[in-house]
Amino acid sequence: MEAVENSRLNKFHYKLLAILGTVWAFIAVNTIAASFVIALLKKEPAFQGSLAKLGSLGSAALFGMLFGAWLFGYLADRIGRKKTLILAVSTFSLASIVSAFSKNLDQLILLRFIVGLGLGGSLPVASSYFAEFMPKSVRGAMISILESFWAIGTIIIGVVALLVKADWRSILLFGGAVVLILPILATLPESPRFLLVTGRVREAEEIVRKVFGASVRLEVPKTTGRASVLDLWRKYSRTTLMLTIVWFSIAFAYYGFFIWLPKFLSATLEITVFKSFQYFIITAVAQLPGYWSAAYLLERIGRKKTLSYYLLLSGLAGIGFYLAANSGSETYIMASAIAFSFFNLGAWGAIYAYTPELYPTEVRGTGTGWAGAMARIGGGTAPILAGKIMEVSGAALAVLVIAVVAIIGALDVLALGRETKGTELS
């Protein structure tokens, strides 16, 4: 695939970035919506519950993402990246619209689980699909830029929450608006790498010619075959172990912190929930330079160092939040929250660039799906655990636990990771 690896960025690459970036932003919208919905449900008697049960509302989509990552990751290696992505986006957009009409908390939790199925499938499939079209010279940076649309989605949902005067049903309806992009997704080509490993050589050659303007003769790789989760552990055990730990850690830190961030801020700063929404948007804005700086460093110091350093620094920022919360200083609390947001989301940009490069094409969808599933276990556990800790010991200790898990993930990458900067996708 030298025509792809050695290509220059062209109009197609930027079109793909815009389309998948929009999908990515709405994945963030639907994920982060839970943090606003949880804070607003106290106004309605039919949706009352303990902090732990409200935390399970935040976790419902994340546990759905666990199964969605496995299911759609598997499908991506069998029916193709494009078809699987369309199916996953359809699932979460339509389920989000239906969830806006929930009549009680249990019904809402179930529908959020279904939303999560589509969200969990969209993330690894979109990142693998995007990576397989990117030239090696800028692949890491471009994937990090794609991931930065998460911050844009986070900012958008925060603004929407303020504009609709904190009506949680309108927030969920907005999350389903991404259904409008499905006809545009349908116009995109299938990944030529997927076509090649499934023996569809002529189709792969035609797409390479149209997208990259290169006439090539391709051959089916000798490694063609169906991959399974067992193959991840039999053939790529060190890589899979490293990714299992770091994806669990980064998601535990992110979802544990951001699902509860309005509550953390209102509790430690003693401000209204509405005011905490405004502060939430400030921390979300800090995510953009986090992504962009990581995108720069990915092509300078490499994937392994960027991911481990940013994850470590996000953990240290979490410890700073714990210390600041105990001191009661608004300046230090916000500074540490902004620092956590900057470094944690920079780490997300790095991990999405890093993961697809660690597996060959025939197992890439399955491998990234497995990694995404581990993230959902971490992300699904964190809001419930943080809710229980807050009920017993307050918000500060919950953030400290989150910080420690982030640091464990950083040490895991340093110990088990390998560098992939400048390598071709096998």
pLDDT on residue 94: 96
Amino acid at residue number 239: T
Amino acid at residue number 30: N
Q: Which two tokens stand for residue 184?
A: 């545009």
Rounded to whole angstroms, the Cα distance separating 327 from 264 reads: 14
Cβ contacts of 2 within 8 Å, gap of 6 or more: 216
Q: What is the pTM of this model?
A: 0.78
Rounded to whole angstroms, the Cα distance separating 408 from 392 reads: 24
pLDDT on residue 46: 67
Rounded to whole angstroms, the Cα distance separating 208 from 217 reads: 10
Please say whether the beta carbons of 69 and 118 come within 8 A.
Answer: no
Segment (H or E) for 162:
helix 149-163
Please say whether the beta carbons of 89 and 115 come within 8 A.
Answer: no
pLDDT on residue 172: 93
- SS3 at position 260: coil
Distances (CA, A) of 178 to 67, 265, 271: 21, 30, 33
Distances (CA, A) of 158 to 42, 101, 153: 19, 21, 9
Q: Which two tokens stand for residue 409?
A: 């993930």
Distance of CA 47 to the CA centre of its chain: 28
Distances (CA, A) of 193 to 35, 184, 198, 220, 334: 38, 21, 9, 10, 45
Rounded to whole angstroms, the Cα distance separating 138 from 66 reads: 30
Segments in 41-148 forming alpha helices (H) = 51-76, 81-99, 105-131, 139-147
Distances (CA, A) of 99 to 48, 108, 174: 17, 6, 11
Q: Each residue's pLDDT tens digit in the chain (426 positions)?
A: 677 777 788 899 999 999 999 999 999 999 888 878 877 776 676 676 666 667 677 778 878 888 888 888 888 888 999 999 999 999 999 999 999 999 888 889 999 999 999 998 898 889 889 988 988 888 888 988 898 899 899 899 988 988 887 688 999 999 999 999 999 999 999 999 888 888 888 898 899 888 887 676 766 666 555 566 787 888 889 999 999 999 999 999 998 998 788 778 877 787 776 777 788 888 989 999 999 999 899 989 999 999 999 999 999 999 999 999 888 788 899 999 999 999 999 999 899 889 988 988 778 878 888 888 888 889 888 888 988 898 888 888 999 999 999 999 999 999 999 998 877 766
Rounded to whole angstroms, the Cα distance separating 127 from 353 reads: 8
Q: Which two tokens stand for residue 325?
A: 């919360």
Rounded to whole angstroms, the Cα distance separating 70 from 76 reads: 10
Q: Which two tokens stand for residue 387?
A: 């809710």
Please say whether the beta carbons of 320 and 336 come within 8 A.
Answer: yes
pLDDT on residue 130: 92
Q: Which two tokens stand for residue 260?
A: 């509860």
Please say whether the beta carbons of 231 and 365 come within 8 A.
Answer: no
Please say whether the beta carbons of 99 and 37 come within 8 A.
Answer: no
Rounded to whole angstroms, the Cα distance separating 96 from 172 reads: 6
Q: Is the dihedral of CA 268, 269, 273, 279 positive or negative?
A: negative
Rounded to whole angstroms, the Cα distance separating 25 from 31 reads: 10
Which of 169, 92, 173 shows the shortest CA–CA distance to 125? 92
Q: Which two tokens stand for residue 259?
A: 């699902």
Rounded to whole angstroms, the Cα distance separating 115 from 36 reads: 16
Please say whether the beta carbons of 82 and 188 come within 8 A.
Answer: yes
Q: Which two tokens stand for residue 16?
A: 């793909």
pLDDT on residue 156: 93
Which of 237, 214, 283, 263 shows the shortest CA–CA distance to 8? 214
Please say whether the beta carbons of 246 and 413 come within 8 A.
Answer: yes
Integer distance in angstroms from the first to the last C-alpha of the chain?
A: 9
Q: Which two tokens stand for residue 220?
A: 């089916």
Which of 224, 193, 294, 228 shows the shortest CA–CA distance to 73? 228
